[in-house]
Copies of this chain bind each other. A is one copy, B any other.
């Protein structure tokens, strides 16, 4: 786990430098827009999706310079989704990672545009990534665009389910789209850049799909077990919003068992690969054990 920590901080540093390069400086007009984008992008996220691009990419032998733009792009897409998710018409959140959300710090119109811009910049960044062959670049683009579209569908499913009685298959479908699709796209993009074959790509898809599920279950557990202070965002929010979560459907104890089981499946998927998968295994363990 010690190595994993340094892996995450190494990736964060690289990604933040790349993001700083790809996002227009706050000194040019429209300054308010670029400031708002930077406020949200450099707000101290975990950089989990970019880390996954790196972890999977390196597992398949891709050099960092080929992974960097794609990793930055998935973080841009993730950040845009958080900005829009926090809007008053959506989750109406004032706090994110311990700081004011984008529309609170700036205003709603600017926050909508900041999210919109991040999505365009993400696709522009990959389409101009000359470190990748044309073929790989297009495959990565299609992968990320598909993940981004599914993410939005998942958000709508989540909204539709608010206050409704939903069962375990519905909650799974919500999260497979809302959180899982972009996590999976990030992992698969890393594999594609590393030249993974079809079978290997399927293994990565299965691994990352389980990882996304694990991420969501532990998120739901953390929401009810941690204080707002630790989270840097409003705690027990899902409960208050009457949102279906793994904990509300299965209870805390069974959710923890489910998380264990999903972690085992994630690891089983990559154990079939004839590659050095320690890092990918450590990531699954890390998500299982995370407390924030």
Residues of A near any B CB (own CB < 8 A): 29-30, 32-33, 80-81, 84, 87, 89-90, 107-110, 112-113, 115-117, 119-121, 123-124, 127-128, 134-135, 137-138, 141-142, 145-146, 148-149, 152-153, 155-157, 159-160
CB < 8 Å neighbour of A124 from B33, B120, B142: B142
Closest Cβ of chain B to A159, distance in Å, is 6
- Asked if A153 and B33 make an inter-chain contact with CB atoms under 8 angstroms apart, the answer reads yes
Q: Number of copies of this chain in the oligomer?
A: 2
- Asked if A84 and B112 make an inter-chain contact with CB atoms under 8 angstroms apart, the answer reads yes
CA distance A109 to B112 in the complex (A): 11
- Asked if A116 and B115 make an inter-chain contact with CB atoms under 8 angstroms apart, the answer reads yes
Question: What's the dominant secondary structure at chain A's contact region?
Answer: helix
CA distance A262 to B195 in the complex (A): 51
Closest Cβ of chain B to A35, distance in Å, is 10
CA distance A32 to B115 in the complex (A): 22
5 A–B pairs (Cβ distance < 8 Å), ordered by A: A30-B157, A117-B149, A127-B138, A127-B145, A128-B142
Report B-chain residues with C-beta under 8 Å of the C-beta of A116.
80-81, 84, 115-116, 119, 152
- Asked if A146 and B134 make an inter-chain contact with CB atoms under 8 angstroms apart, the answer reads no
CB < 8 Å neighbour of A141 from B127, B135, B157: B127
Residue of chain B at shortest CB distance from A140: B127
Report B-chain residues with C-beta under 8 Å of the C-beta of A115.
116
- Asked if B153 and A127 make an inter-chain contact with CB atoms under 8 angstroms apart, the answer reads no
Closest Cβ of chain B to A188, distance in Å, is 14
CB < 8 Å neighbour of A120 from B30, B107, B119, B156: B119
- Asked if A89 and B109 make an inter-chain contact with CB atoms under 8 angstroms apart, the answer reads yes
CA distance A123 to B109 in the complex (A): 23
Report B-chain residues with C-beta under 8 Å of the C-beta of A152.
33, 113, 116-117, 120
CA distance A149 to B127 in the complex (A): 13
Report B-chain residues with C-beta under 8 Å of the C-beta of A124.
142, 145-146, 148-149
Report B-chain residues with C-beta under 8 Å of the C-beta of A145.
120-121, 123-124, 127
- Asked if B112 and A87 make an inter-chain contact with CB atoms under 8 angstroms apart, the answer reads yes
Q: A87-B112, A121-B149 are in contact. Are A30 and B107 (CB under 8 A)?
A: no
- Asked if B127 and A107 make an inter-chain contact with CB atoms under 8 angstroms apart, the answer reads no
- Asked if A157 and B29 make an inter-chain contact with CB atoms under 8 angstroms apart, the answer reads yes
- Asked if B32 and A156 make an inter-chain contact with CB atoms under 8 angstroms apart, the answer reads yes
Residue of chain B at shortest CB distance from A136: B134
Q: Which of A32, A123, A141 has most B Cβ within 10 Å? A: A123
CA distance A90 to B155 in the complex (A): 22
- Asked if B135 and A30 make an inter-chain contact with CB atoms under 8 angstroms apart, the answer reads no
- Asked if B89 and A112 make an inter-chain contact with CB atoms under 8 angstroms apart, the answer reads yes
